[in-house]
Amino acid sequence: MRLLGTAAVLREDIRYLREPEEAPAYERTVTTARATMGEAAFAAAWNAGRTRSSADVLAVVDTLVTELAEPSPSPHPAVEII
């Protein structure tokens, strides 16, 4: 959720409007995360993402790209909850 909170800030900064066809999947993701994590944990992660520095965001993205590009022995590589 931290990464989604960060993405929300970045979209606001550049005035990016989500494409209408993206909305259902995005809303499902957020709704599922909120239900799974609970409101307090969700809000804390979302707000933590909104306050990340750009250097931190780039480091997280770099890590995710690297992990996704490398073969994993598990079908679910260990990555940050986004």
Tens of pLDDT, residue by residue over 8-59, are: 888 888 898 889 999 999 999 999 999 999 999 999 999 998 998 878 878 8
* Domain-embedded: residue 76: no
Domain that holds residue 14: 2-69
Residue 80 lies in a domain: no
Residue 58 lies in a domain: yes
Q: Tell me if 63 is assigned to some domain.
A: yes
Residue 81 lies in a domain: no
Split into its structural domains, the chain has a count of 1
CB 45 within 8 A of CB 1: yes
Give the predicted TM-score (pTM) of the model.
0.64
* Chain centroid offset of residue 68 CA: 15
